[in-house]
Chains A and B, each alone.
Chain A
């Protein structure tokens, strides 16, 4: 998220960053712009990087989203006009949901589940969630639309600039929508009650997805100038209607099941791959992320989060007023820790004053080993028996290959050695994982060898390794958060107060994100240094792509982190109930 990284944005980063903002701001009006027959070696990876920006539009989870925040909703009525204007043509049904949204706007308080009105029937809750989802998709559209009108213009100038022939393809929208619906079956699994109400959102999904993909292509093809231009425009537009990008951020984070979006992106990528032969090096972040079981862990974490949220609802609805107020305050305290962690980008964490803040500051160093020890200590502090073996291994691996590439004369033999070395770290815990990976890795190694043999420079190798490492590290980070959730829920007494656990998790997540950032920068530096003889037009898209994947990785990790909130909440409720409603632990320490 913007604030998380903003202080350290380098030139490359800001390009990548603005690009992702661009994609968030593209809507129906641009999605019909399809690039002609122009092809670009890596355009695919750029289009798939756009995933996080469209994660606001899949079917809603069955239980109410924990954190629709009120301020975001307040402006939605302002946007409705723009939105309905923009969407009448292609999304007539949005008008309908627009009225729904209008009536729902006032209901979006600080938190859906912690509303002061008190308990509600579960059916009502589900019903209301559906409606507000309609509102959300509409609202999201409106923000995006206002950004789009400007970006659309920018795009047309890009078209001229780049001299690319573009054709308008109205039908692509329909195709996309069909495709999405077919793929939506996965989403249905967990949202059997929301089919009707969620349709508008799904429409938006396909729109944004295709918009984002197509725009991604155009943008990359248009070159860096265009990219920067659009990025600035989009930032400006978004900033005008959304100071601090608060809403954009929330929109991107809260309103969809991330695993579904990623799944969809992966399936698209897979379909594309299965219908063509791979003749040149391409990196498939979404497929690699799935290969490392990142999607599965994310999906499982979403299940736990949704079920915990439902349980919290049930408890809340069973309480009398006095107790309810008390519990609500406690749950809100927890939530504030999560939100603060997200917003303050961890810079003022020392306020908590316990020793883990020292640990935390150690994450400033981008060094695999130091990160590993930070990680281990934070997990130890959590008092859950989670070990970061796999994540550590991924980190070490990432640093190893960079080191290896940076060695003056990288030979095939050296490369093999290093792979061997990192590959066979004898950890019984990781053994099975290792073997699983080695199969998947074999093909890629083959690919890498081919590159080595085929061309003397290793720009492609570095690029592929960068994307793979980011995918692996992200998958492992999410797996780690999933394991933490499982251990918190596993039924034993909470050993550490929920709010302390929350603070530690904030730090843990921040450490992960920061390291992902460092890795992405390290990778792009390596790319730049290996590719110094390459033309900028060749090299820059690769660098951008790596930075963008880094930024996306960050977003996924933070999304996974947010899923932990209901888990901690229900864990807190169960612990305090076991102690006779004493709630002794939830006294704020800061």
Chain B
């Protein structure tokens, strides 16, 4: 009776980017394991996480590429942006420098993904209110100016972590629904798989990709 883990209709590729130590891996860990990882080692290159969640009534598998924040890996991690449907751009609300570097991360995200990639700005460590160094308002404004979704979250308490991934997924799904995200396009970052195909004629359910059949 274990059908659940294999039953999803879409795969979205996500990337998580941002300065070293802002808590990217912890956010991912909280999201996939619902636990806080206290002493998280530096990520080498990229690590992966997956979780299936329900988005607007559809089962979606999120395939998350958690990139290294260290500058020395920047050249390597840039290679991984391609084909992301969603990007989580993370800064640390208690360290202003991580916020100041956002424009550089945003430039990379814009240049290396496609125009439809949904970018959500996440101010992590929201539990450390006493040490806050970046106000909610200014970050909100930055997000609005750049057309980003925005949330403050805490990988430690789990606050808004689920929502961060979900909001981006909803936006991506909405883009699919209203046609602005073309599933046929190269690097859309989305794979559509009709779950439990009856009779197995994939081409009929999938709205796409009939061209190029060699039959």
Chain A residues at the B interface, C-beta cutoff of 8 Å: 90-91, 93, 173-175, 177-179, 181-186, 188-192, 195, 199-200, 202-203, 206, 267, 269-271, 273-278, 287, 293, 296-297, 300, 303-304, 307, 385-386, 428-429, 431-432, 435-436, 439-440, 443, 447, 482-483, 486-487, 489-492
Contacts and interface: CB of A to CB of B under 8 A. Distances in A.
Given A177-B213, A182-B202, A300-B80, A428 B39 contact: yes
Interface stretch (B42-50, B103-111, B153-161): B42-50
Contacts of B1: 277-278
Contacts of B212: 181, 184, 195, 199, 202
B210 A307 contact: no
Contacts of B65: 296, 300
Contact of B183 (A185, A192, A487): A185
B140 interface: no
A334 to B, nearest CB: 20
B186 A189 contact: yes
A74 B80 CA distance: 37
A277 B2 CA distance: 7
Given A483-B45, A486-B73, A278 B191 contact: no
Contacts of A483: 44-45
A269 B6 CA distance: 9
B80 A303 contact: yes
10 contacts: A93-B214, A173-B215, A179-B203, A181-B214, A200-B214, A202-B214, A271-B200, A432-B25, A486-B76, A489-B76
Interface in B71-106: 72-76, 79-80, 82-83
A178 B213 contact: yes
A189 B83 contact: yes
Most B CB atoms within 10 A — which of A181, A191, A428?
A181
B177 interface: no
B56 to A, nearest CB: 20
B6 A489 contact: no
B191 A436 contact: no
Given A270-B6, A278-B2, A443-B2, A482 B37 contact: no
A482 B32 CA distance: 22
Contacts of A297: 48
Nearest to A188: B186
Given A202-B214, A490-B45, 4 more contacts: A175-B201, A267-B193, A293-B48, A436-B33
B3 interface: yes
Nearest to B32: A436
A142 B94 CA distance: 64
A178 B73 contact: no
A436 B76 CA distance: 25
A183 B192 CA distance: 9
A507 B189 CA distance: 36
A304 B48 contact: no
Interface string B5-31: 111000000000000000001000100
A486 B209 contact: no
Contacts of B32: 436
A31 B155 CA distance: 51
**Chain A: interface secondary structure?**
helix
Contacts of A178: 201-203, 210, 213, 215
Nearest to B203: A178
B41 A429 contact: yes
A95 B201 CA distance: 28
Interface of B: 1-3, 5-7, 25, 29, 32-33, 35, 37, 39-41, 44-46, 48-50, 63, 65, 72-76, 79-80, 82-83, 183-184, 186-189, 191-193, 195-198, 200-203, 206, 208-215
Contacts of A300: 45-46, 65, 80
Given A183-B202, A487-B44, A189 B5 contact: no
A283 to B, nearest CB: 13
Contact of A271 (B63, B196, B203, B214): B196
Contacts of B39: 428
B214 A91 contact: yes
A200 B44 CA distance: 38
Most A CB atoms within 10 A — which of B65, B192, B208, B214?
B214
Contact of B203 (A182, A195, A200, A385): A182
A174 B202 CA distance: 11
A182 B208 contact: yes
Nearest to B28: A432
Nearest to B73: A490
B209 A184 contact: yes
A274 B6 contact: yes
B63 to A, nearest CB: 7
Contacts of A447: 2
Contact of B210 (A181, A273, A276): A181
A439 B34 CA distance: 11
B199 to A, nearest CB: 9
Contact of B82 (A190, A273, A274, A429): A190
B209 A185 contact: yes
Contacts of A202: 212, 214
B203 A490 contact: no
Nearest to A91: B214
Nearest to B46: A300
Contacts of A386: 44
A177 B214 contact: yes
Contacts of B188: 185
A206 B2 CA distance: 28
A287 B215 contact: no
Contact of A486 (B44, B63, B197, B202): B44
B82 A296 contact: no
B187 A192 contact: yes
Most B CB atoms within 10 A — which of A191, A206, A491?
A491
Contacts of A186: 191
B49 A275 contact: no
Most A CB atoms within 10 A — which of B3, B6, B74, B208?
B6
Closest 7 CB pairs of A and B: A203-B214, A486-B45, A178-B203, A174-B215, A192-B186, A177-B215, A274-B7
Given A432-B40, A491-B72, A274 B48 contact: no
Contacts of A185: 183-184, 188, 191-192, 208-209
B79 A303 contact: yes
Contacts of B215: 90, 173-174, 177-178, 203
B196 A275 contact: yes
A482 B45 contact: yes
